[in-house]
Amino acid sequence: MTETVTGAAPARRPGRRLIDLAIEYNFILIFLVVVAIAATLSPNFLTATNIANLFQQAAVVGVVAIGMTFVILTGNIDLSVGSVVALCGMLAAVLLADGMPIMPAIAITILAGAIAGATIGLISALAEVPSFIVSLAGLVSFRGITYLMTDGVPVSGLPQGFGAISSTMVPVLPGLQISSMGLIFIVLCIAAGALLRLTVFGESVYATGGNAEASRLSGLPTTRILVMVFTVSGIMSALAGILLTSRLRIGQPTAAQGLELDAIAAVVLGGTSLFGGRGGVLGTFFAVMLLQVLRNIFNLLGLGSFYQMTVTGLIIVAAILLNRFIDIRRGRA
């Protein structure tokens, strides 16, 4: 006599599992398809010079998007990152132009970014004000402080060694070099991914984004976690400001305008849910590179910015709809 086991979940068929994986990691598939199309359209796309250029161009928005990933994973948003990039870039330029050594200037700049991010997080968490509103106020305020620092005048005369931070070429593969700027972006992605996936803090971030109230009732310090993710965002923005100023060799108060929108677009395109609790840095990395590949191939083909804006917007809308579809499949509708 054979026993019948009831209540057990049926095993997924291999084909079904492959479909689920394809949907879950759609950003990688989309990236590979776009790269294949780009390589077909332009013979210059896969050259070592162009690949190095891709990573250099993607670094600033990519570093900011890493911090934005932490914030969005908790179901929040940080609109102040572009202004923090400009503020910290100007701060570094002012300190260096006044004769401060490079490393202390960088340390002070990173600290300033951390304070800016923590301030947004504290106000939002303690006053229970939506982060959208608080960070919008930060966007305006930090940009105003940036202009006040030098009355809106760019700061030049930075030491040559500071420029080397972004321009030094580093061999990564035989015949392939990328700038130190691009390498910093890759290293930060790996470190942030490990922090989210392999630490208690990372688990707390996902738990808070999945259900903040349940996490609080279970003993998680949700207020502290929110402050910490905004602090991470501020630090990443400060690093991006340092990289941008190093690359431009000038402190520019108008820098990074609209950068927050590019960062949010990359995070959402990479599969991180705006509702929080799902996503990660891996998706953000591929999405940043995907957006850069699109801009790059349009430039190689001689197409104007209007085409870039239109296609990029359509891809972002499609990504949002796909992510919503994934949420529904997971029963989170």
Most confident stretch, 82-96, 173-187, 281-295: 82-96
The predicted model gives 270-292 an average pLDDT of 90
pLDDT higher at 224 or 176: 224
Ordered by start, the domain boundaries in the chain are 45-329
Q: Over the stretch 146-172, which tens digit does the pLDDT of each residue have?
A: 999 999 999 998 999 999 999 899 998
Is pLDDT of 134 > 60? yes
Sorting pLDDT into bands at 50, 70 and 90, what band is 75?
Answer: very high
Domain 45-329's class? mainly alpha
Answer whether 108's CB lies under 8 Å from 242's CB. Answer: no
What confidence score (pLDDT) does residue 146 get? Answer: 96
DSSP assignment of 237-296:
HHHHHHHHHHHHTSB-TTTTTTHHHHHHHHHHHTT--TTSSS--HHHHHHHHHHHHHHHH
Q: What is the pTM of this model?
A: 0.90
